[in-house]
């Protein structure tokens, strides 16, 4: 193995933002969307998963088909299919009906490009 290899990179350590983080909650940290793996108070370190399939709250009345692009609307903290409502974070992993309160998203695990381009 190469001597400069550090880790797979699916889980990274971050500093919890103002308000802290809750296990299983979605957060934009810098230019990445992460799902907290445990609770942490503001300023404390926490582990954030940047890949994988996660069940997260979704915008009421929206219907998703597997493969649909999904974005993160930080307020109210929910998935949305509305481009521009927040950063693109991945694609629907399976269909979700309008009555569903959660949906499965396959996180893209890459930097949020619109934030990089605008800075």
Domain boundaries, the chain: 11-118
Q: What CATH architecture does domain 11-118 belong to?
A: Beta Barrel (2.40)
Q: Distance (Å, rounded) from C-alpha 99 to C-alpha 93?
A: 17
CA neighbor of 53 nearest in space, from 93, 101, 84, 112:
93
pLDDT grade, residue 44 (50/70/90)?
very high
Mean pLDDT for the stretch of residues 91-116: 89
DSSP string, 35-87: EESS-B-TTSEEEEE-SEEEEEEB-TT--B-TT-EEEEETTTTEEE--TTSS-
**Global pTM?**
0.89
Mean pLDDT for the stretch of residues 75-92: 94
Query: Does residue 43 surpass a pLDDT of 80?
Result: yes
């Amino acid at each position: 193995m190469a001597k400069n290899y550090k880790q797979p990179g699916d889980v990274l350590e971050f500093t919890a933002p103002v308000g802290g983080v809750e296990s299983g909650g979605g957060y934009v940290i810098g230019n990445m969307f992460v799902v907290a793996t445990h609770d942490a108070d503001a300023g404390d370190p926490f582990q954030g998963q940047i890949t994988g399939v996660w069940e997260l709250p979704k915008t009421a009345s929206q219907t998703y088909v597997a493969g649909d692009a999904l974005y993160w609307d930080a307020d109210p903290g929910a998935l949305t299919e509305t481009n521009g409502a927040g950063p693109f974070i991945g694609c629907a992993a399976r269909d979700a009906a309008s009555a569903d309160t959660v949906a499965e998203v396959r996180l893209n695990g890459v930097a949020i490009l619109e934030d990089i381009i605008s800075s």
